[in-house]
Structure formats: C-alpha cells, structure tokens
Chains A and B, each alone.
Chain A
Amino acid sequence: MGISTENCFMLKTFRIGGIHPAENKLSAGKKIENAALPAQVMIPLAQHIGAPCQPIVKKGDKVKVGTLIGKSVGFVSANIHSSVSGTVNKIDKVTDVSGYKRDAVIIDVDGDEWEPTIDRSDTLKRECRLSSKEIVEKIAGAGIVGMGGATFPTHVKLTPPPGLKANILIINGVECEPYLTSDHELMLEKAEEIFVGTEILMKAIDVKKAVIGIENNKKDAIARFAEISKSYPGIEVQPLKVKYPQGGEKQLIDAITGRQVPGGALPISVGAIVQNVGTTFAVYEAVQKNKPLFERIVTVTGKEVKNPCNVRARIGTPFKNLIDIAGGLPGDTGKVISGGPMMGKALPDIDIPVAKGSSGILIIPSSEAKRKAMKDCIRCAKCVNVCPMGLNPTLLMDLTEFQIWDRAEKQKITDCIECGSCSYTCPANRPLLDYIRLGKGKVTGIVRARKN
C-alpha cells in the first residue's frame, strides 16, 4: 500500500511531552554478524514477565539447538528452548539481568546440532495456511516474547480478553532509544520476512490493517519498507518524527492512530495491538520455519567501544563474549547497560547471560556514568512539560518521599511508563524516576490489596 498517503510529508508523532536525546546510533549500518558459540551457555528460566519456567531437563541430559528445556507454567509465561547443542551441566542460580540470582539451565556446548524439525534454509516462505488458533499455538510453543525489552509473552497479547477485538495491528519499528540499532539492522536485512510476519500476525488477530511505524532517522529502512509494502495489501508504512519515547506502546498508538489508551487500560481497549519488529521476525521464523526463539540481535555499542556492532547471539551467551566481539571492554568503562540508555538496566558485572529481552549492550565511559549531585527542586516545570503521560513528576517524587500514597494514586502515579524523560531533563539532577518507580510499586500494591 506504500507510505500512508494522506501524511506523506507530515511526520506523525505523539501529542504530549517527549524529549529528543542525542541519537548516538554508532552501530547504524553495521551488518549483523554471528557471534561465535560460547563454551557454555546459561539460559535463565525467567526471561519474560510472568511465572518462571519449570525446567524439564536435568544434569547430564543431551540437548540439541531448539530443544524445549523450560516449560511455561500458567498462562502468562513462555517456553524456553536450548540455544545450543550439548550436555546440561547443572541447573543453578545465576545472576541475570534482574540483578538477582535466579534459576538458569547451564549447558556445556558441544558442536551445533539443530533439532531436525527446524528449517534452516534462508528462502522466504510467504504462504501460511494455518488458522488463527494454530498460529497463536505455534507462537506460544516457540516461546516468543516482546523483544523490544518488555518481554511480555506474545501469545498472551494475541489473545485479547473476551469481548474485545483489535481492528489495527501496529508494528513497532521505532527504536527510539538512543544508541540501539538492532531493530534497524534487522529491518534492513530481513524486511520481507518482517512483512510476512506481519501478515501472519494480522491473520492471528483477524485484522485487515497493519501499520509499521518507523522513526524518520531510519530513512533507508522507510524507503525499503515503502517499496516492499506495495506488494502487501493492508500493510502501510508510517514515518514518524524522531521523539522519545515513541516506542512506548501507548505513545506509538497515539502517534499512528490518534487514539489514546486510557490510564490503566490495555491497548486493545482502543482496538490496537502493538508488536515489535524483532518479535514479528521471530513470529515469522517460528511459524514458517519451525524455529523457536533461541537467538536474537544485540547491539553492542558505546562511545569508547572500538567496534560498535550488531551481533546475532544465542540466548545464554555471556555479555562478556559479545563485548569481546566489539573489541573488548574499553579501559574507561563506567557502566555496562543491558538495553538502551533511557530504560536499560545497569549491570553489576558482565558475566550475565543474554536473554530474550536483551536488545543491546551499552558501555558508558566513566565520565558520563556518574550522576551529578542532586539539588533542591527549583520548580521549573520541565519534567511536567516532557512527561509523555501528562503527569507531574516532581509532585509524584515528593509524594513518594513523604509516603502520601492516596494523593499519589489520585495523581495517577500508576500511569507512569518509566521512560525516564523527567530524570533526563531535570536541571537539578533529581532522581525523579527512582522515586516515582518506588511509589508506583507501592501504590500498585495498595490498589491490588484493596481489590482483593
């Protein structure tokens, strides 16, 4: 269908707040390279929002690439597959991205033997004859989760609550986090596959329209997608103005459809379902190639990094191995972040394994890593102006500090999407989001306790 016609030159964006940090896409245009297989992988059993998996292998078991090793328990959970072939060494607690020690399956790598059901060819397979239900089952079986970082199980998102039905699918190719380029590279190299994935997702939720939103700093991807979209009826490409946090689900829906999801509601309440391009590609591979989710693209980047790059890494590979591909940990390293600089998590060490939600490894030099001293609030209202949810961050921080939970609830603290725009902007260097996150957790707990 080409670029959405009525807004060819008018770039869309969301309406409230937003910031524009320096993009620093150092690894843009770097072809995806395959990371060498590590000697040992540590595959965490909790790589998604929801209940951790139950391990179904034990010490000494032989596994192949793609073998199911963790079975999902409960509805909001996702299967976990082996990313290598070899022998299970043990199931032990390993520090993962959460910063805590949690159960992981540790496998000693031996060769690279894949499950025979997986189609390893590169040929595009466009046709999909499965029914909507079969597609969702296949996605659930492959253990696919939101790969933008939220790691919400995809099959749950594709199963809307009874009575609600989507009428538009939005594919998130925004990648609004500075530094990260993994989605961008994937869009350039696997464009056709992403379109097929989109078609499959449209079929799964039975919608006739899909929009792929891409920020305007990825002009090559927009051009390529616009070209391909001509042969995919129902799929449109929408260039978007560069503004953070456009990749936020609610912001993206607002930018593309002009519908605002009310506070506390799911996107489906305005008839939209959002999937990341990485997830869409994983869906393509799972449905068309029978390949479960056991590898992903990770951007390894940073101002001091010798060779910022995009690598395809097996889940469970230690971050250290990927950093070595990018030229090793620079001498001047202050912080290592899993994800982007705005919402990523700083890591206490670099032996942490790659998980399904690891979109990038960002190494920040020590000069930029330390926060500046916090000053008193001067009430400049800049945080209020940039908040994309229309909240009053400085007030919410005060309410949290003084533990006034009832007012914090009335001030919609639970609407916060933790994008970090407030802390980013604050001229007094106040840790606004640190406190709001704390208050949000407390208030959510209070609300939940009241309901029960």
Chain B
Amino acid sequence: MENKLIVSPSPHIHSGDSIPKNMYGVLIALIPAFLLSLYVFGLDALILTLASILFCVVFEYFISKFILKSEPTISDGSAIITGVLLAFNVPSNLPIWILAIGALAAIGIGKMSFGGLGKNIFNPALVGRIFLLISFPAQMTTWPAPVLESATDAISSATVLSQLNLSSALPTLSSMFVGTESGSLGETSAIALLLGLIYMLWKKIITWHIPISILVTVAIFTAILYIFDPQPQYNPIIHLASGGLMLGAIFMATDYVTSPLTKKGMVIYGFFIGIITVCIRLWGAYPEGVSFAIVLMNGFTPLINYYTTPKRFGEKQKNG
C-alpha cells in the first residue's frame, strides 16, 4: 500500500477541546470585570494588568527554557490568566516593581517550582498575592479611591470590609454590586464577575459546584449570625458583594489544577472556603480572607480527592 494506515486504540475522534481553549475561555469571562476596572480606576488598571501579564509570561518562558530546560508552555494561556488574576488582586496604585516581585513569586514559587501547569498545589496568582500581602502590607492595603469619585487625585480609601471592621460609613449596596467602590483592581464589581461565571458555565469550562457552594455557604453562615445579631458586619448581602469573594469564588477557587476532581469533593472544598473566609473576615487579623481560605483548601485538595469518589453507576440502586 502506498500510504501506510495509522493504527491506534479507540476512540478515534476527539472533541477538539484543548488546554488553550479552556484558558482563553476563562480570559474571555474576565473581560467584563476588566472593562469595569478600566472604568473605575482608569488607565492605572490597564497598565497594571498588561504589566502583570507581561511579567508572568516572561518569567514562565525563562524559567521553563533556562531552568527546567523544557519546551516553553506559554502558548497555553495559563500564564496570562495568572497575570490577569494577580493584577485583579492588587490595588491599582501598586508600584510596578512590587507587581514584578509578585509575578515572580506567582510563577516561580507558585507554579514552576512544582513543574509547571498541572503539577502545582496552590493557585499561582494567590501565591503571588499572599506573598505581596505579607511582604508589602502597607502598599497592598491602601486602595486608591475610584477615579469616578475624585478625578483630581487619588486619596487612599478603605475597602468595604475594612470599613466593616472600623464600623464607619458603608458605600451603598448598588455601588458594591456595580463595582464603583474602592478595592483591588478586579474584585469590585459583583455583576461583572457574575457575567463571567455565566459565560464559563455556558461554555462548560467549569461546573457550578465550587462557586455556588462557596457563595451559598458564606450567605447562610453570615445570615445565621445576622439573625442572632443584626449588625452590619454580619449582613450576608454585604459579605457576598464585597471584597474578593466573587472574584475568588468564580475565578480563583475554580482553578482546575488546584481544585478537587469529584463533584462531592468540589462541594466540600467550596463549603470550607466559605466558612474559613467568613471566620477570617469577622474574627481574623486581616480584613479579607478569601485568598487565605482558597490557598488553605488548595492544600487539602489531594486529601479531598483521595477520600471522595464520583457517583458510581449502579452503586446505590434506585429502581424505578
């Protein structure tokens, strides 16, 4: 025969799904939040995001090429996501050099030291963020006021959560949902982030289990507290709409590599992230606890995977 036939085990067709497809899908889902950050924080947001992407991609390229001596994998888009998420987790007036350190921590420590995409234990963007939060607490916790309010100069203003602990005046709920209050770059608008969630669910990039279980846990937990003691710091709606909860629940906790495989596991994971987040917010030293909660549960993911199994066919027989 002139041309040789190819032989391989079944199946012989493939869905065409690929790692880049999923990664770029997540990036598309991040667009609404990005546009809103441009609107709220102006040009700073654009510069910071682009710089962060650039740092992450360049670091990944050099580490994989010169230290790991492997084929650079930057084209799969995962470094871009890390870059965007890192930028979304910092204040818009953060000096670029600090951001560069954060990107190095995210890519170098959080991802490549484990061997690259698929092998890391912790969400790289959160590793970067926590590294910065601990190393540069002052710069990481002074947020500029949204350009909308004071276009002339950026006065540091507190986020809703830090105001909660200080029990000062709160911004209106509607501004929290739309995202015109102060905060880190991409976390301010609940609506923009929810749009991203809907897109990812529609494209089947993620399943609902992780984000919904986190949000529901936070809502129920704070609602119980609110019933016993109706103080504003227990208001579940404020908790849902403020800070990095939405960003964390939708984009960070759902990171493929560091979240559980089974649906049962995902719900357990989401539940504990919700509980830990609220505990840190209400009784911890930091005003915001989502990143810590997620990283903590990232560490438990292998254990959750070990002890949960998918729903087996024919295991619990429900005869109709």
Contacts and interface: CB of A to CB of B under 8 A. Distances in A.
A449 to B, nearest CB: 24
A277 to B, nearest CB: 22
A427 B5 contact: no
Most B Cβ at <10 Å: residue of A348, A372, A427: A427
A347 interface: yes
B12 A433 contact: no
Interface stretch (B33-41, B90-98, B112-120): B112-120
Contacts of B163: none
Contacts of A370: 6
A122 interface: no
A427 B13 contact: no
B315 A418 contact: no
B312 A376 contact: no
B313 A390 contact: yes
Given A270-B319, A346-B6, A382 B17 contact: yes
A260 B9 CA distance: 28
B313 A388 contact: yes
B8 interface: yes
Interface string A377-404: 1111110110111111011000000000
Contacts of B311: 16, 390
A341 B8 contact: no
Contact of A262 (B15, B116, B314): B314
Interface string B241-277: 0000000000000001101111100100000000000
A114 interface: no
Contacts of A390: 309-313, 315
A391 B18 CA distance: 22
Given A390-B312, A392-B310, A379 B257 contact: yes
A268 to B, nearest CB: 14
A261 B314 CA distance: 5
B16 to A, nearest CB: 9
B67 interface: no
Given A258-B320, A366-B6, A389 B312 contact: yes
Interface in A315-342: 333-337, 341-342
Given A347-B7, A366-B6, A260 B317 contact: yes
Interface residues of B, number: 45
Contacts of A260: 313-315, 317-318
Contacts of A270: 317, 319
Contacts of B13: 21-22, 178, 341-342, 364, 368, 424
Interface of B, secondary structure class, is loop
B319 A259 contact: yes
A22 to B, nearest CB: 8
A371 B312 contact: no
A437 B11 CA distance: 12
A434 B256 contact: no
A119 interface: no
Contacts of B309: 390, 392, 411
Decide if the interface of chain A is mainly helix, strand, loop or mixed: loop
B9 A378 contact: no
A263 B261 contact: no
A16 B119 contact: no
Nearest to A335: B6
A216 interface: no
Contacts of A421: 11
A259 B320 contact: yes
A62 B7 CA distance: 37
Given A348-B5, A379-B261, A392-B261, A427 B11 contact: no
Given A335-B5, A370-B6, A376-B118, A420 B19 contact: no
A369 interface: yes
Contact of A342 (B7, B12, B115, B266): B12
Interface string A345-385: 11111100000000000101010111110011111111011
A425 interface: yes
A55 interface: no
Interface in B10-58: 10-15, 17-19, 21-22
A15 to B, nearest CB: 8
Interface in A418-432: 418, 420-421, 423-429, 431
A308 interface: no
A179 to B, nearest CB: 9
A344 interface: yes
B11 A420 contact: yes
Interface string A154-166: 0000000000000
A250 interface: yes
Contacts of B115: 376
The CB with the most chain A CB atoms within 10 A, among B116, B317, B318, is that of: B317
B168 interface: no
A371 B14 contact: yes
9 contacts: A250-B313, A257-B320, A346-B5, A346-B12, A369-B6, A369-B12, A379-B259, A379-B261, A425-B15
Interface of B: 1, 3, 5-15, 17-19, 21-22, 76, 115-119, 207, 256-257, 259-263, 266, 305, 309-315, 317-320
Across the A-B interface, give the 4 residue pairs with the lowest CB-CB distance, nearest first.
Answer: A258-B320, A420-B11, A376-B118, A260-B314
